[in-house]
Amino acid sequence: MIPLLKSLAALVALSASFATVAQAPVRGGTLTVALPTEPAHLNSAIDTTQQVKIVAGKIYSGLLKYDLKMNMQPDLAESWSVAPDGRTITFKLRKGVKWHDGRDFSSADVAFSIMKGFGPNNGLVRTTFANVESVQTPDAHTAVLVMRQPAAALMNALPVATATILPAHIYDNTDIRRNPANTRPVGTGPFMFSEWRRGDAIVLVRNPNYFEAGKPYLDRMVFKVIPDTQARGAAVESGAVDMVFHSTVAASDARRLAGLKNLELTTDGYHFDSTVSFAEFNMQHPIVGKREVRQALAHAIDRKFVLDNVWMGFGKVATSPVHYGLRQAHTDSVPQYAYDLKRAEQLLDEAGFKRGANGMRFKLTIDFVPFGDQYPKVAQYVRQQFVQIGIDADVRSSDFATWVRRIWTGRDWALNLSALTNASDPSIGIQRAYSSKNIVPGTPFTNGTHFRNADLDNYFEQASVNSDPAIRKRHFAAIQRILATELPVIPLVAIDQFTISSKRVRNHATLSDGVYGGFADVWMAPN
Amino acid sequence: MNFLRYLLRRLAQAALVLGLVIVLQFLLLHLAPGDVADVIAGESQASDPAFVQQLRSELGLDRPLPVQLLLHLQRVVTLDWGQAHSMDAPVWQLIAERLPGTALLMVSALLLAIVLGVALGILAALHARRGLDGLISVLALLFYATPGFLVGIGLILIFTVQLQWLPMSGMSSLYGDASWWQRSVDTARHLLMPMVSLSLFYVAIYTRLMRAAMLEVLPMDHVRTARAKGLGRWRIVWHHAARNALLPIVTMAGLQVSSLLGGSVIVETIFGWPGIGRLAFEAVFKRDVPLVMGILLLSSVLVLLVSLLVDLIYTRLDPRIRLR
């Protein structure tokens, strides 16, 4: 009797806990999200900044969605197939989908978006889509991409935030940057644009004709512009907003907020923004142009310290500029540079930079990207470390435009602290920064170190057209070994971005593009 | 006639100053390295030269600087403020959308500062070198020394996070239908904290100013005469002393319009208040020349007009000042 009672009790407890885990979604409610910066417009085909993507991602749809393990799922495309030679890719599109203005969605919209929309206009992925020769539309629900050469990264680059499908009937034969729909968007997504109070808030409402029946659950979404970091923290703490995304409260505040009983924190859903922070070198600089000097500097930086004290533990110590989250490419088996000041000094002595009369070896200026509050802190830390090994280092701060000009045009810099989005694939996110073919003075986020290595160029090119994952992984491993040996860049921290949200908000981090996705599945638990 | 000639001459001077200011502003903006194409391409992590070139030619940034300046002057004269580069809207529209917010914030903060400052200053002067005076002085010092952003964050922590009484961001949180009355109350609730944050510094200034002016006026003969006539205490304070002491306050308020605009940048940022200050700040960092120039033009005109206005009010308040 007793055992039976016990197991009964266990069963009751189990079903009770099940009930809290797998509650049925509730319809209704308003979800308020804090925006750190007001978007310039809401056309994510021509602008991939966070503030544009997070709003536009709810209004538009992409061809595919990706779960947290990057498995493809249908969005506007119901099914898809890549020809064995990689030369054609066929998408079967969902039927009966309507634009928010009532017009029918068709393959013509897909063709327009790839050839004239995000294809040429999305700065990050345009090299990937440059391989598309044409998009054929045999019927209204089939789109066939004909490739000049295979693009291995393309199938991982089709979520709404990167590859936004625009309405051809509104955009075709217009100036895409000046189209009035950029600020009054018409999409196929779960939410419809309602109102834009400039400088204050953007309001979206439920799309009653969304193609997934019964969704979305929310009645309304409000994106509230809160430019101040402290104020964003206070906003989510007080419940004035339900969510802050992409690490936009101070990391030092995040742990405390995450511990509050009404809030929770997740680092899921930022795969497409996998970012590694690093110290990179101007390879033409007379001093840091020498490999021994770069190696010495690598030994002088305690990356664990940077991770724990600047990023407050959000991430992992980086050994490669490829984020550990990109499992198809990342490797740890590369030369390592342990934190060792003696070794650093010894390498500098060997390189011919002995301490002078004043105890200093040479002068070095440290630049950093003026974005967020982390990089100035890293700069101060690195300066202190360098002074210890006899380098007369100083830190120079500049605003974004000045910094961009200095690194990629003026080139009067030595060491630069910054970060780079890997996107979903090294062929998109990493190749641009280290391939010598992409040394383009005057263009930001090209190869700014002017690193040249013929082997590396080769591996990148082969990886970008080969669709065999095993071969690609080998190429990427070779690339990471070359970078870790030649050290144009010292990777510091593979950053985990985080979202802090009210515990009432459910299902917001179930996809690889997390908060940038459509939120059709997101619902608010009652108070 | 005399007045009209004076006014015309002052207006001509103002126009000349304005022209110089516009040219200087334009050149100053172009001294800073980088342009809006760098920012747009950088923010979207574009790494494609054709893309950046395409942006520059679309935005007219590839033309020589003197040509850009002439085009700009031509636009100013024809009142065409152009298209903002960093936001998808005409400059005049962006400014027009933000102007009411800033005007509401500035005017209410200035009024609060004057009313509170004058009252505290009078009280302090009447109790000079006694307990209340000391208390007010300490308070004024505190207001003067505490930066606006600290006051703002402090207010948010108390009134939003702890007490949950006031909304902390934006100008309104009503969506959908609401009556005129509901909207007004909602806006007032949003205005309270930014207004106080912006005005405390000026409260301190007006308090000190008013106290000093009152102490100067109170021992004067006409006040003694009024007292001898047996007039009521508050009548003496208000009609015979305070009115005369108000002159420096008027000057100060006029001068401070431009500094208020500056202070509003910070307060607008903390409270997410949709105003001109924040718009200017963002525009500078995005190297959005047309937008910055539009805002600077507006604020220059504003400052010139207010200083003209102050001079005119002065001649009314103090007949000893002549129009020349």
* B89 vs A38: CA distance, rounded Å: 13
| Phi, psi dihedral angles at A224 (to 5 degrees) | -105, 125
Measured CA to CA in angstroms, residue B75 lies from B94, B99, B294 at distances of 17, 21, 10
Please indicate, yes or no, whether residues B9 and B144 belong to a single structural domain of this protein.
Answer: no
- In a domain? residue B202: yes
In chain A, what is the straight-line distance between the N-terminal and C-terminal CA atoms, in Å? 40
Please indicate, yes or no, whether residues B137 and B84 belong to a single structural domain of this protein.
Answer: no
Please indicate, yes or no, whether residues B176 and B105 belong to a single structural domain of this protein.
Answer: yes
| Phi, psi dihedral angles at A82 (to 5 degrees) | -105, 130
A57 and A223 in contact (C-beta within 8 Å)? no
A197 interfaces chain B, CB cutoff of 8 Å: yes
Distance from CA of A429 to the nearest CA of B (A): 9
B276 and B95 in contact (C-beta within 8 Å)? yes
Please indicate, yes or no, whether residues B224 and B79 belong to a single structural domain of this protein.
Answer: no
Domain containing B174 — which CATH number?
A: 1.10.3720.10
Mean pLDDT, residues A94-116 taken together: 97
* A465 vs B151: CA distance, rounded Å: 57
Domain final position from B60, B91, B122: B91
Among B88, B168, B172, whose Cβ lies nearest the Cβ of A235? B168
Per residue in A475-501, is it b (16+ CB within 10 Å) or e — as a string?
A: bbbbbbbbbbebbbbbbbbbbbbbbbb
Among chain A residues, the shortest Cα distance to B35 is held by A401
* A266 vs A258: CA distance, rounded Å: 9
- In a domain? residue B294: yes
* A416 vs B215: CA distance, rounded Å: 59
- In a domain? residue B85: yes
Residues of chain B with Cβ-Cβ distance to A227 below 8 Å are 269-270, 272, 278
B74 confidence band (pLDDT: 50, 70, 90): confident
Please indicate, yes or no, whether residues B177 and B215 belong to a single structural domain of this protein.
Answer: yes
Among B52, B171, B271, whose Cβ lies nearest the Cβ of A443? B52
Residues of chain A with Cβ-Cβ distance to B101 below 8 Å are 199
Chain A 418-437, residues with CB within 8 Å of chain B CB atoms: 420-421, 432-433
A273 interfaces chain B, CB cutoff of 8 Å: no
> Which structural domain, as residue segments, surrounds residue B147?
98-317
* A370 vs A213: CA distance, rounded Å: 45
Tell me: the pLDDT tens digits for B28-57?
Answer: 888 777 777 777 777 766 667 777 787 787
pTM of this structure: 0.83
The reported pLDDT for the residue numbered A18 is 46
Please indicate, yes or no, whether residues B159 and B272 belong to a single structural domain of this protein.
Answer: yes
Domain final position from B74, B91, B108: B91
* Selected residue with higher pLDDT from A89 and A161: A89
The reported pLDDT for the residue numbered A17 is 45
Please indicate, yes or no, whether residues B86 and B102 belong to a single structural domain of this protein.
Answer: no
The reported pLDDT for the residue numbered A225 is 92
Cis omega (within 30 of 0) for bond into A216: yes
Total domains in chain B come to 2
Among chain B residues, the shortest Cα distance to A239 is held by B161
- In a domain? residue B323: no
- In a domain? residue B324: no
- In a domain? residue B322: no
Please indicate, yes or no, whether residues B73 and B161 belong to a single structural domain of this protein.
Answer: no
Please indicate, yes or no, whether residues B109 and B42 belong to a single structural domain of this protein.
Answer: no
Please indicate, yes or no, whether residues B198 and B268 belong to a single structural domain of this protein.
Answer: yes
Contacts of A283 (CB under 8 A, 6+ apart): A289, A449, A450, A451, A452, A488
Does the ipTM exceed 0.95?
no
Q: How many Cα atoms occupy the beta-carbon half-sphere of B168 within 13 Å?
A: 31
What is the strand order of the sheet A132-139 is part of? Answer: A77-82, A88-93, A142-147, A132-139
Please indicate, yes or no, whether residues B159 and B73 belong to a single structural domain of this protein.
Answer: no
The reported pLDDT for the residue numbered B180 is 85
- In a domain? residue B162: yes
Among chain A residues, the shortest Cα distance to B55 is held by A177
Mean pLDDT, residues A53-82 taken together: 95
What is the number of other CB atoms lying within 10 angstroms of the CB of residue B224? Answer: 13
Copy the structure tokens of residue B203. Answer: 């409260």
- In a domain? residue B300: yes
Domain final position from B91, B117, B144: B91
Mean pLDDT, residues B139-159 taken together: 90
The reported pLDDT for the residue numbered B22 is 86
Please indicate, yes or no, whether residues B28 and B151 belong to a single structural domain of this protein.
Answer: no
